[in-house]
Structure formats: C-alpha cells, structure tokens
Amino acid sequence: MKIGLDVMGGDFAPKATITGAILALKELSASDRIVLIGDKKIILNSLKEEKFNPGNFDIVHASEKIDMGEHPLKAYTKKKDSSITIGFRMLKKNKIGSFSSAGNSGAMIVGSIYSTNVIPGIIRPCTSAIIPKENGGITILLDVGTNPDPKPDVMYQFAILGSIYAQHVHGIENPKVGLLNIGEEEEKGNLLSQTAFQIMKGSKVFNFIGNIEGRDFLKDKADVIVCDGFTGNVVLKQIESMYRFMTKRGLTDDYINRLNYENYGGTPILGINSSVVVGHGISSALAIKNMLLLSKEIHEAGLSQKIQKVLRN
C-alpha cells in the first residue's frame, strides 16, 4: 500500500518526519511505499543529510504548508497547494491508502470531513489516546479534544467507535466500555454524564460496564473509556506531564516507559470514510515512525468499513 506523510507537519519537521519515515521504511514490507508530501527541495536536502536514497520514497511537491497557529478551515480552503491539502486530495483519489501528519490537527479534522466525508450515521468524528494498563494491556480513551462539548448521543457513538477500534486494530475481544465519571453510581455526575449513561445502559452494540472513576485508568477495569473531548484532553496531558515529571527525576521502569506518547505515534480520526492519523505536534522521529506503522495497520484492518457495517446493522 501507499502511505502518505505530511513532511512539513510538526514542531520538529522536516528533520523528525524524514528520519521517522526512514525508520518506518525499515519495518514495512517490500510492497509498501511511503509517499513524502512537502517542499521537494527541502525533502531532497533532508534525505541527502541522512545519506538516504530518495528513490526509496515517492515524493510529491507542495509549495505551501499550514502552520500550527493558523485557523484550520481558512488555511485548508485557501492553501490549495499545502502538504495537508494535497495529502487529502491524493487520499480522496485513492492515490494513497492512508494519510498521516503531526501538523495542524484542526486542519486534519477539516480535511477528513471535507475530503473523505463522515461515515453515514456518525454525528461527529473523534480522536482517541492509548493509556497503558499496569497489567500490560491498554485502555483506549476517547474523545481527547476533537469534541469539547458533545451531546449525549455523540458520547454513545464514541463508545461504538472505541469498541470497534479496540477489537479490530488492537485485538481486544468484546471490549469493556466504561463512562468516565466522578463515581460508580448511576446517578453520579453532571447532566451530560447522567444522560449518556442512560443511553449507553443496556446497549447491545457494545459491552457497557458502567461508570469509571479516574483512579481506575491504569487498572484492568475497562478497555475503552468514553468522555467529552475537554475532559479527555486534560486527562491525556496530565498523563504526559506525569511521564515527563517522573523520567526527569530518573523514576523509570518498563511500565513508566510505556506512558511515553512516542510509542503510539498518534490517533486515528474515527468515524470518517478513510484512514487518517494525527500525530502529536512535538512528535519525534520515533513517534513519526509509529504513526506511519499505525496508519498502515488501521488501513489493513478496514476500520472504516467495519464501522460502516456496524452502523448499517
């Protein structure tokens, strides 16, 4: 398959994106091809610095880039020759099977909706994060910032999306889905949490186990934890902060090392008709590599098609 990468996206681009692409190439099969999208001169110079043959990649020139601080919709619609816009254009025409960027996440969401469209029946696409469990497994947290103020029916769909993602990409059979709340009791929480609980309770589409408290994140209580994007983003950044705090003081072990975001690469945009992965703005070469490998895994799992099938039923 052809895997598209926005070379210009991220705080450490193009050094990190080029080096990450080289690392990913070493782990991909011979039938896979990474498509580097960005300023061709910069790409060639970066590959020369790495002493790596440009012929190992497909290179697509983009004369513009969307910066982190730009308004997503305005930038995406006005910058027709940006690396993100061209990437989505190629994705729409099936010239690449997946597209990844550590650049402007808002522009990636806009591009996903405009180019590949939202899966029929999905109200709002969302993003997720992987939180390692202390027993070696993982928990998928969603949403983590795309939808700061969702309605209860949107939260219900987060549960569907997270459950399918956990099962078909991460191999978790019959994932346990929990709703993040301030207590386990059904009547606990704000109006959003209480209403979402009532909608999710008794669902036959996913395995709902009830409310999950913050102290249960790292335990094997749930495989998928649903929350609004505002709360999810705060939780995710708190975990990232805790990881940096501990490693800075030399408090590391195998589990703490698993908290490093670089190990997971990025998050797929769930609920769209294609395979799109958004990386952290501060992505290193290792994170870029894992972002590319994740995009291939999501595409080959047919994640969007499986979501469509569940919604049709």
Shared domain for 79 and 148, answered yes or no, is: no
- Quick check: is 250 in a domain? yes
Does 6 share its domain with 85?
A: yes
Average pLDDT, the chain: 93
* Residue 58 located in a structural domain: yes
Which pLDDT value is given to residue 261? 86
298 and 231, same domain (yes or no): no
Mean pLDDT of all residues in 122-127:
93
Residue 98 lies in a domain: yes
pLDDT of residue 186: 87
- Residue 266 domain-assigned (yes or no): no
What would the pLDDT profile of 90-111 be if each residue is shown by its tens digit?
A: 999 999 999 999 999 999 999 9
Supply the pLDDT for residue 131: 92
> What's the pLDDT tens digit per position in 9-30?
999 999 999 999 999 999 999 8
Token pair of 123 as six digits? 């109200």
Could you tell me the pLDDT band of residue 139, with boundaries at 50, 70 and 90? very high
Q: Are residues 222 and 242 in the same domain?
A: yes
End position of a domain, from candidates 257, 282, 297: 257
- Verify that 96 and 205 share a domain, yes or no: no
Supply the DSSP string of the chain, one letter for each residue. -EEEEETT-STTTTHHHHHHHHHHHTTS-TT-EEEEEE-HHHHHHHHHHTT--GGGSEEEE-SB---TTS-HHHHHHH-TTBHHHHHHHHHHTTSSSEEEESS-HHHHHHHIIIII-BPTT-SS-B-EEEEE-TTS-EEEEE-SSS-SS--HHHHHHHHHHHHHHHHHTT--SS-EEEEE-SSSSTT-S-HHHHHHHHHHTT-SSSEEEEEE-GGGTTTTS-SEEE--HHHHHHHHHHHHHHHHHHHHTT---HHHHTT-GGGT-EEE-BTBSSEEEEE-TT--HHHHHHHHHHHHHHHHHTHHHHHHHHHH-
What pLDDT, on a 0 to 100 scale, did the predictor assign at position 312? 76
Same domain, 108 and 142: no
Asked whether residue 217 carries a pLDDT value surpassing 90, the answer given is no
Domain contains 101? yes
The model's pLDDT over 245-282, given as tens digits with 9 standing for 90+, comes to: 999 999 889 989 988 888 888 899 999 999 999 998 88
Distance of alpha carbon 69 from alpha carbon 107, whole angstroms: 10
pLDDT at 42: 97
The pLDDT assigned to 262 comes to 86
- Express each pLDDT in 162-205 by its tens digit: 999 999 989 999 999 999 999 988 889 999 999 999 999 989 99
Residue-level pLDDT at 60: 97
In total, how many domains does the chain have?
2
- Tell me what the mean pLDDT of segment 70-82 comes to: 93
Whether residue 263 lies inside any domain: the answer is no
- In the predicted structure, residue 112 carries a pLDDT above the cut 90: yes
- What's the CATH number where 238 sits? 3.40.718.10
Domain match, 149 and 93 both: no
Q: What is the mean pLDDT of residues 275-293?
A: 94
Final residue of a domain: which of 257, 279, 301?
257
The answer to whether residue 262 is domain-embedded is: no
Q: Specify if 84 maps to a domain.
A: yes
Q: What mean pLDDT is predicted for residues 231-249?
A: 91
- Can you give the pLDDT at residue 269? 93
On whether both 162 and 237 belong to a single domain, the answer is yes
Closest CA to 259 of 285, 238, 282: 238
Write down the pLDDT at residue 49: 94
Domain boundaries, position 165: 128-257
251 with 132, same domain: the answer is yes
Let me know whether 205 and 245 are in one domain: yes
pLDDT at 313 > cutoff 80: no
Do 117 and 135 lie in one domain? The reply is no
What pLDDT does residue 71 have? 92
Mean pLDDT of 223-227: 97
- Residue 204 and residue 103 in one domain: no
